[in-house]
Amino acid sequence: MKIQHLQGLISAPFTPFDSNGKLDVSLIPGYYSFLKQNGVTGAFINGSTGEGVSTTMAEKKAVAQAWADCSNQDPDFKVMAFLAGTCHADCIELAKHAYEIGLYAVSLTGPFYFKPANVDMLAQVCIEVGKEVPNMPFYYYHIPVLTGVNLPMFDLVRTLDGKLPNFAGVKYTHEDFMDFQSCMSYENGKYDMLWGRDENMLSALVLGAKGAVGSTFNYAAPLYYDLIDAFNANDLVKARVLQQKSIDMIRLLGKYGGISVGKAYMKLVGHNLGEFRLPVKNMSAEQFELFKKDVASLNFDEFKSK
């Protein structure tokens, strides 16, 4: 398989729920159009932001089908499906479903309950799942802050090289820039390394990253495209200013409760996607009013998605 190196901003979409916490895929076509009009080049569905570990098998398939229905005729928008990672049989079933409905790629993280003891065991997990969809790009999803699986991706890349023909690269959501650069440089840049820390994008651009997957791209894509343009124009002063805007925006996630705050940002750009499921905490109505004031102080309207 020829490995395609994806470019631009790939959104990690939120999974839409109604006021009763039930899946509402009717919101996905409008969501897709919103991302497209803001220059987003793809979607990483059912991941951390999409609560893939908190949805049922049927719900994950329904979300995948809804995104496929929207985007399969769009060659400029790539959808990859996260497969979770605790039950191999479920991951294989989801991978086969993603292939059958025509999605672009699948992605797997390390099992996060019974964790692999070393890179060889993690590679076996990847091979067992990836070989079931041999004609589909397979990405590993490195996010040790959530999985607790913190093994060097350079070692995983070397181990999988030649053993899993459809291995395409890594969605890299970690801060080990030495490891990331080593993966980027492996075999003259053979594999597609997608950056996954929005608040550190500028540092990844310096190392040569061309594609990124992030949750804040849902509601602030123009900010990051301006950052990329500034970097490409060698205007590092402007690029640093824009990266700081990203950091200030992301700090509000920590202030108001974490990952669920992303859906509050989405409300401010006109998309009410419901709330996060337990055990994630959602902000109260009173907190939301305070949040809106903090967001306004960032001049959010100047760089938000529209």
> What tokens were used for 259?
């990952």
| Active-site annotation, residues | 141, 171
The answer to whether residues 301 and 249 touch, using CB atoms and an 8 Å cutoff, is no
Beta-strand ranges (E) seen in the chain are 8-11, 42-45, 78-82, 105-109, 138-142, 167-172, 192-195, 211-214
**For 159-169, b where at least 16 C-beta lie within 10 A, e where not — what string?**
bbeeebebbbb
On the CB side of 265, how many CA atoms lie within 13 Å of its CA?
30
CB hemisphere CA count around 61 (13 angstroms): 14
Q: How far is CA 132 from CA 72, 119, 139, 169, in A?
A: 21, 20, 14, 17
